[in-house]
Chain A
Amino acid sequence: MKRHALSTRLWHWLNLVFVVILFMSGLTISNAHPRLYWGDWGFAPEQAWLILPRFPDWMTIPGYYSLAVARDWHILAAWPFALLLLIMWVAMLANRHFRRDIATDRQEWQPSNIRRDAAAHLRLQFDHGPGKYNFFQKLAYGLVLGVILPMMIFSGIAISSGMEPSFGWLVEGLGGRQSARSLHFLFAFALLGFFIVHVLLVILSGPIRQMRDMLTGGGREEGPRDAT
Chain B
Amino acid sequence: MRRRNFIVAAGATVLAGCNKIAESGPGTRLLSAAERWHKAAHELLTDRKALAPEYPRSAISPFFRGNGTTDPQEPAYRRHAAEDFANWRLEVGGLVASPMSLSLDNLRRLPQRTQVTRHDCVEGWSAIGEWTGPQLSLLLEAAGLREEANYIVFRCADTLNGDVYYESVDRIDAFHPQTIVAHSLNGEPLPIRNGAPLRMRIERQLGYKHAKYLTAIEAVASLDEIGGGEGGYWEDRGYQWYAGI
Residues of A within 8 A of B (CB): 20-21, 24, 29-30, 32-33, 35, 37, 40-44, 58-63, 66-69, 71-73, 75-76, 79, 161-168, 171, 177-178, 181
Residues of chain A with a CB closer than 8 A to B79's CB: none
- 29 A-B pairs within 8 Å (CB atoms) are namely A20-B14, A21-B18, A30-B124, A35-B125, A40-B59, A40-B128, A41-B125, A42-B125, A43-B126, A44-B63, A61-B18, A62-B18, A62-B22, A63-B18, A67-B122, A67-B123, A67-B239, A68-B234, A68-B240, A71-B122, A71-B239, A72-B34, A79-B38, A161-B245, A162-B204, A162-B243, A164-B245, A165-B53, A177-B120
Determine whether the beta carbon of B37 is less than 8 Å from that of A165: no
A146 CB to closest chain B CB (Å) equals: 24
Residue from A35, A40, A44, A60 within 8 A of B118 (CB atoms): A40
Specify the chain A residue showing the minimal Cβ separation from B33: A76
Contact A24 B11 (CB under 8 A): yes
Q: B240 contacts which of A21, A71, A73, A181 (Cβ < 8 Å)?
A: A71
A68 x B238 contact (CB < 8 A): yes
Residue of A nearest to B50 (CB): A165
Known: A79-B37, A161-B38. A41 touches B14 (CB 8 A): no
Asked whether B11 lies within 8 Å of A161 as measured between CB atoms, the reply is no
Contact B46 A163 (CB under 8 A): yes
B interface, CB within 8 angstroms of A: 8, 11-12, 14-16, 18-19, 22, 30-32, 34-35, 37-38, 42, 45-48, 50-53, 55, 59, 61, 63, 65, 118, 120-128, 204, 206, 234, 237-240, 242-245
Contact of A165 among B46, B128, B242 (CB under 8 A): B46
Chain A to chain B: the 10 pairs with minimum beta-carbon distance, closest first: A68-B238, A166-B46, A165-B50, A33-B124, A43-B125, A76-B34, A162-B244, A33-B123, A72-B31, A41-B126
Take A72-B35, A76-B31, A76-B34 as given contacts and tell me if A166 and B243 are in contact as well, using a CB distance cutoff of 8 Å. no
Residues of A within 8 A of B35 (CB): 72, 75
* Contact B34 A75, beta carbon cutoff 8 Å: yes
With contacts A58-B11, A161-B240 taken as known, whether A75 is within 8 angstroms of B38 at the C-beta atoms is yes
Interchain CB contact under 8 A, A41 and B50: no
Tell me the bound Cα distance from A68 to B241 in angstroms.
11
Contacts of B239 in A (CB 8 A): 67-68, 71
CA A177 to CA B61, docked complex, whole Å: 14
Contacts A32-B124, A68-B237: A164 and B15 contacting too (C-beta < 8 A)? Answer: no
Chain A residue with minimal CB distance to B63?
Answer: A44
A63 to B213, CA, bound (A): 35
Contact B14 A73 (CB under 8 A): no
Complex-state Cα separation, A21 to B239, whole angstroms = 19
In-complex Cβ contact of B14 among A21, A71, A165 (8 A) = A21
